[in-house]
Structure 1
């Protein structure tokens, strides 16, 4: 029987080496396959789960302003990092109270205010502080949305403090029922029914206010181990909710009464050799406004001769210096003397206004132009101006192809307001109405002006009055029945020497506040601000509730 043949020793060594080589080749193939899977080539390999970080806990004070809270939530939503609301172990906390390592990210300005007709002007901050702590008399009304901010400024409110917390929507009506009380509310929630008070001589509507000195300024703080506060501060600033008082959103409009630089005013100018004489007492005040309105009733005419007796009015072109000094931006042309010397000079005056960069409304080259709304945009606020002449005479009114003032009818005004509303945030309507030398407006004027407000005008002003007339709020909208004489020669009675300058404060497209500044004039035809008892008497006359 033949036996099994076995390889010799050298042959077995070669066999072993071959087996090892085959194993190495197989390992290389497997390694290549695995590497290809990592780079997307070949069959995919299941990913190994990686550990994830826990969501950051974010704590927001429940009393933050709605717009600010909404902006913070939007910012959080846009972030890639996960987060969840909570309070314990917060990685980011936003609150009225400062914490270690926190930084300011926003601020809120609060303002004391009283009803518009109140004679009060100023409030001592120490009186607010003492009343908040129950240490002094005084009654305050505070909207529920401002309590936390005031606590951060004044400390916790004492149980015995004479402070009533009211729903924000009821604040103004409750204050008008308790006119002896003082409201404290956010700056951007002011409205024309309220009169803001200065605090220790500082006025919140003053553009030059040093905000760091305003005592009713609350700060919103943010901080925490997440380190998100810097990014949050930048986001709130970008969204415009880092403050409720941004000067780049504020427009101050000054509106004035009758200007007629003729007769006695012209004679005074000529005698002094100073074409800007009438304006020098108020130039600083009026030119400081962002927009200044002048109702000029007289056209400029080369060679105009000043006369004390002539019933026809004209002004020398040199008197344009008056408008330059007061910084006139907008001239109203509803007056009844602009055509006293014919249409030629009215047209030349329109050219002169254009050369000076002064816009006009209420009158124009023809009836269509005269009735067009003037739209002025400043700091994002769009203001529309409309003007009409109800008083006449007929020759002062514009025709289809002739210059003059826009003719008044309620239907025309209502249509004009509708058109202006499409283009503007606020609509101002001025009317040259029937003259009445009395503080009380005529009954028909009251009916017409209220109808204009009901049609959608935000402010209605009478341009005709030669003395200050009543001011009222109709549906919350201010109506000024007459502003009196600014630059005119009627000095024969105390009332005709007086006028009202009205400063309208517009913020983010809304009428925030109105300020009434009485003026007075002596025989030199240079008006100045009224002071003391005379000022108070004028305000008591035009604000019957005062």
Structure 2
């Protein structure tokens, strides 16, 4: 025992001598240090009060969430502080994710991180879609520490509140912004094909992730770590992109498993239509399907009843629901014109199939009261409400006091419902089965009703009636998409526009819709869509953005 005591004493003296010769400020991890080393910190000489300097260019959201442990205070200047919180990657306590954001009507989806740094340094290419970078003061100072001093000709200092307006008003002007400040009028541009909107996002592989570290003397950092642990709270949030606050919603257009689509399913298998896009739908946290067609055990084979086909009287065989099972359906919209086609028994049978699977549905039901109820979801702290109705002339929607069917639109009732769910903290997503037309632009018939629900507080308004893609609009804080086109329907031979469609992937973070990821698809036959090729996607986006007035 005495030998051990002498050894400890000599070791302690040596450490003091070495410490006196060491640099005054050195980086030490407060998260990766061995537990034994941390535990002995209390045996070292300590002060009652320690001071922490926070680099003023660190994100304001991070600074606002600092939780100081007992006997730790903020220092006004770096020289006065015992410990610094600054940019650094070796002893990380937080990792902040930024996004490269362009105005929403931007066609390119990705650039390389090398291209981005070249713009920062004023060495960009004339043919690059990115010509100038907008940054606020804190972001500029942060990336100066990472990339060096920026070029004054290509990096434009802009007030945070003016970034979006400035980007929309200048061609080729994009911005670097913190992830949590995204909103739907921005489009997130991937870097090296990595986007912070990705389901499998890895911040360590992303060029716009910045690490923040604590810097100081070893003994000071050990004491601070001990006090943080005793307080039971982290000093700062570990990230501004918390996976546990993200919800993705996949919104889709027309599903009608009839005629040619049904024929191809019979020939190649029930899940054939989703061969190329199934993963996209399955990976969403909430997958929306607007299935217009009732299931019935008396449904004949495809093309068996030519009179019904000619009169657009449709049904689906019960086994066709395997397709909807396979893509991870979560909520079914019932506003479609054809839900009534096979009568009350078929509608009730269809609802039983949905109930057996635990799927929620809205915009229709066993009666009017049920059909008017919103479909409510809670996921990762986000509350989402789906509401919808059929806005065509009466007759398509048959829901009544004691009869099933789609719900006909009563815009006053709809407005009150939107306000009610919003007051409960839900994000309202409103969908319409509306007047059908074949044009990329928004029809005035739709605009009025879309605006009405946006004014009532809808965050997203989506047209489920369209058999081709249609325009976008931002209105009263809402994102409006007048028509997505078909998801599973056999209009392949009716024109090139009917072969094009969107799946809208919405990203909700911490109670807000922060982004819309436009997934563009192209039909290869009467049943099966695939992801568009680059030239096809460019053509559709340019066409739709022009039709939207951008």
Asked if these proteins are the same fold (TM beyond 0.5), I'd say yes
- 1:396–1:477 distance in 2 versus 1, CA, 3 Å: closer
SS of the aligned residue for 1:151 comes to: helix
Partner of 2:420: 419
Aligned ranges for residues 320-469 of structure 1 at < 5 Å? 320-394=321-395, 396-469=397-470
Q: TM-score, normalised by structure 2?
A: 0.84
> Does 2:157 match 1:169?
no
Any conservation in 1 of the 2:361–2:375 contact (CA below 8 Å)?
Answer: yes
Q: TM-score, normalised by structure 1?
A: 0.84
Any conservation in 1 of the 2:440–2:470 contact (CA below 8 Å)?
Answer: yes
Q: Displacement, 1:365?
A: 1.3
Distance 1:411 1:179 in 2: 41
Partner of 1:496: 498
Partner of 1:252: 248
- 1:339–1:129 distance in 2 versus 1, CA, 3 Å: same
Any conservation in 1 of the 2:365–2:405 contact (CA below 8 Å)?
Answer: yes
- 1:349–1:166 distance in 2 versus 1, CA, 3 Å: same
Partner of 1:95: 86
Any conservation in 1 of the 2:54–2:74 contact (CA below 8 Å)?
Answer: no
Q: Displacement, 1:469?
A: 0.8
> Does 2:518 match 1:506?
no
Deviations 1:104-156 (A, max 9, x none): 11111111111111112212212222332334463111122312221232123
Q: Displacement, 1:426?
A: 1.2
Distance 2:154 2:291 in 1: 50
How well do the aligned residues superpose, as a CA RMSD in angstroms? 2.3
Partner of 1:318: 319
Q: Displacement, 1:395?
A: 5.2
- Counterpart among 136, 140, 146 of residue 143 in structure 1: 136
Deviations 1:187-224 (A, max 9, x none): 11111111111112222211212221101111111132
- Counterpart among 281, 286, 292 of residue 281 in structure 2: 286
SS of the aligned residue for 1:429 comes to: strand
Any conservation in 2 of the 1:111–1:204 contact (CA below 8 Å)?
Answer: yes
> Does 2:152 match 1:156?
no
Any conservation in 2 of the 1:236–1:242 contact (CA below 8 Å)?
Answer: no
Distance 1:263 1:167 in 2: 56
Q: Displacement, 1:533?
A: 2.4
Partner of 1:298: 293
Distance 1:505 1:150 in 2: 26
Distance 1:504 1:147 in 2: 29
Distance 1:431 1:372 in 2: 15
Partner of 2:105: 117
Mean Cα displacement is larger for which, 217-226 or 414-423?
A: 217-226
> Does 2:48 match 1:57?
no
- 1:381–1:143 distance in 2 versus 1, CA, 3 Å: same
SS of the aligned residue for 1:201 comes to: coil
Partner of 1:186: 178
Distance 2:526 2:74 in 1: 72
Deviations 1:334-367 (A, max 9, x none): 1011111111111111111111121111111111
- Counterpart among 527, 532, 535 of residue 534 in structure 2: 532
SS of the aligned residue for 2:495 comes to: coil
Deviations 1:373-405 (A, max 9, x none): 111111111111001111155253310111111
- 1:198–1:400 distance in 2 versus 1, CA, 3 Å: same
- Counterpart among 122, 126, 129 of residue 134 in structure 1: 122
Distance 1:155 1:144 in 2: 15
Q: Displacement, 1:497?
A: 2.0
Give the length in aligned residue pairs.
488
Larger radius of gyration: 1
Distance 2:487 2:235 in 1: 43
- 1:136–1:145 distance in 2 versus 1, CA, 3 Å: same
The 4+ residue runs of structure 1 with deviation greater than 6 A are 232-237
